[in-house]
Amino acid sequence: MEETDRKLTLNGLVETALFVEELPRACDFYKQVLGLSKVKASDTGCVFRVADQRYLLIISRKAAHTPNKTARRERLAKHDVDLLSEISWETGARSLYFRDPDGHMIELATAGIWEAA
């Protein structure tokens, strides 16, 4: 059996990402109005902790980009799913971003993005 044919096992929803038009306005809203705790911030986005190991990512639509296209990438390609972004985090974790058929962004990530694995 090929690696791309194996059943994909998901063990939780760690984060939700929202693309926004005005990053400072959106980050202020989630911090000031909803009282969420900001974990990280940059000129491309900010991350809020919603609950234990649950995060809300606010990403600047303008800063989103499409880098190059392994087994997960091949699986997405086999099913004609376009890879939106691939990120190698400073912790060593990696993320692949793509959209479902209704346009919702999904991330497949290795352990250790926000907290030690």
> pLDDT for 23-82, tens place per residue?
999 999 999 999 999 998 888 889 999 888 789 999 887 776 544 346 788 888 899 999
Mean predicted confidence (pLDDT) in 6-29: 84
Beta bridge pairs of residue 15: 55
d(CA 105, CA 18): 8
Question: What pLDDT is attached to residue 114?
Answer: 65
More confident of the two residues 6 and 22: 22
Give the domains, in start order, of the chain with CATH numbers: 15-64 (3.10.180.10), 65-112 (3.30.720)
Question: What pLDDT is attached to residue 115?
Answer: 58
CA quadruple 110, 6, 11, 83: dihedral positive or negative? Answer: positive
Main-chain phi, psi angles of 101, to 5 degrees = -60, -20
Question: In sequence order, which residues have a C-beta less than 8 Å from that of residue 38 and are 6 or more positions away?
Answer: 27, 31, 46, 47, 48
Mean predicted confidence (pLDDT) in 81-110: 84
